[in-house]
Amino acid sequence: MGAKEIGIRQIHVDDGFWNKRIRNAVEKVVPYQWRVLNDREPGAEPSHAIRNFKIAAGMEEGEFYGYQFQDSDVAKWIEAASYSLIYEDSPEIRAALDEAIGIIEKAQQADGYLDTHYILKKPDRKWKEIAHGHELYCTGHMLEAAVAYRAVTGDDRLLRVMEKNVELIRSVFGSEEGKLDSYPGHEEIELALMKAYHATGEKKYLELADYFVENRGTRPAFLEEERFLELSRENRWLEADYHQAHARIRDQKTAEGHAVRAMYFYTGAADVALEKQDPTLKAALDTLWDNVTGKRMYLTGGVGSQGEGERFTIDYDLPNDTCYTETCAAIGLAMWALRMLKLDPDAKYADVMERALYNNVLSGISEDGEHYFYVNPLMLKPDVARYRKDHESVEPERVKWFGCACCPPNVIRTLCGLGGYVYTQDGDAVYQHLYVGNKAQFFTSQGEASLSCESSMPWEGNASVTYHGPSGMTLYLRVPSYAENFSVKRNGEPLKPEKEKGYVRLTPQDGDVFTVHDGTLRNGSCKV
């Protein structure tokens, strides 16, 4: 039995820190973003994303508006809105989801093609601008949305749309004669295909993900496309390494290029490595992990220090005032960390995941949920930022929306889907990675079981984990890297459990309550 997340519907976050943010996302931000996507929110940057789909569906007249990846904003909103139903089964949100999916169904072309930018603006350029066209990127996000929607509602309407789209992609891409032997300019579809594989068991998704991961870095692929050559000649930051296409993944020793692309690529590659049980791919990912987290990551979990190319530069080049550290990149880092935990449950991955979620991800959204940062510098002087060329992407204050709006719906899908980051399961072993208050149900070989957690981590250093279910399972609780003198009790009695890769190993019985303390000094006193 392989490592996996406990199903998203099986986990309900109930946490003193996160409740306010999740409740606000569910009740206010998901509806707010639906209004923005429909251009009905005063003061917000125009989106036109839903209207693009309506025009492609023949429901309205007009022209495409926005970036070539505008479709992905709708996809991420669908994913967030689907997860929000776990917390509140809103008829209004269900109706909005039904409307959005109905429009997408009508917009899809007969052969399965689905990308409003190329349908409306460049119908003669389909599959001819792979490096920067984002067709596969948009497919990835919409496929993720389809998997999430089915997981929460049981409805496979959108998944049927995306299955047809993936079938088209399989007919276009591959190493066989007559096909495009290439890979995405902006990675995302790899991890989405793996989600679809895990949800359906259909090997075609795994095979396509494996092809894109293993083929990346081969030539010529998209590296001879007219648009790629034009942009790479104009800007050295947009060469092959910008796309992580400068070498095969097993030959990459340092994280290069666009940070979001890199994080999504490594996430998908980790999924493939787990499914194939491939130690060489795992080793390559560990090399990249050590480089990113040891030499190219900020203390906030932010990655991608340079604004030009939204990218990594060199080891230890981590300026506080000019750093880019895009919100989406921190989300991607958390996603990658979760996959590494499934490959190898080592607390070093969970430490980074926690750091990114509590810091660089949350800095990207205001408490009211309606204002956002795209760029997250560690230091900002507003008067300087308004004049400096290297600050041109920095907003001194959060804004209601962006023309390039990848981050706002990405944050909301992360908040509404936070439960998916708490645990992984490997057969009868469950690992708790985050001390987020929650209630979770899962299955062991002996039957159904449950875990509930009440937590004041990391603020006060205490958490209580209660188990109900059959004997025979193993529970691993993480020892946080900040814990100075970690201790655990079972039903009030101190334990000295075995420690494996930063986790204490426990064998719970029905009704057991484990209390943990990080032992860290706070205000001159030790919490024990």
* Residue closest to 364 by CA, chosen among 326, 406, 338, 404: 326
Non-local (6+) Cβ contacts of 170 within 8 A are: 204, 208
Active-site residue, 310 included: yes
Looking up tokens 């999916």 gives: 101
Looking up tokens 């919100």 gives: 327
Is 483 within 8 Å of 518 (Cβ atoms)? yes
Is 76 within 8 Å of 145 (Cβ atoms)? yes
Cα 128 → chain centroid: 27
Q: Could you give phi then psi for residue 216, rounded to 5 degrees? A: -60, 135
Tell whether omega for the bond before 220 is within 30 degrees of 0, i.e. cis.
yes
Is 325 within 8 Å of 376 (Cβ atoms)? yes
3-class DSSP assignment, residue 289: helix
Catalytic-role residue among 187, 225, 256, 310: 310
Read off the tokens for 275. 């499914």
Read off the tokens for 174. 């591959």
Length of the chain: 528
Catalytic-role residue among 138, 323, 406, 416: 406
Active-site residue, 328 included: no
Query: Can you tell me the distance from the alpha carbon of 457 to that of 350, in angstroms, rounded to the nearest whole number?
Result: 14
What residues pair up with 223 in beta bridges, in sequence order? none
Does the CA dihedral 147-151-152-156 come out positive or negative? Answer: positive
Non-local (6+) Cβ contacts of 412 within 8 A are: 25, 29, 30, 33, 76, 77, 80, 365, 369
Is 285 within 8 Å of 258 (Cβ atoms)? no
Read off the tokens for 177. 């004669």
Is 297 within 8 Å of 338 (Cβ atoms)? no
Cα 38 → chain centroid: 24
Query: Can you tell me the distance from the alpha carbon of 306 to that of 317, in angstroms, rounded to the nearest whole number?
Result: 9
Left if phi > 0, otherwise alpha if psi is -120 to 50, otherwise beta: which for 46? beta
Cα 256 → chain centroid: 19
Radius of gyration of the CA atoms of the chain, in A: 23
Q: Which residues are catalytic?
A: 310, 406
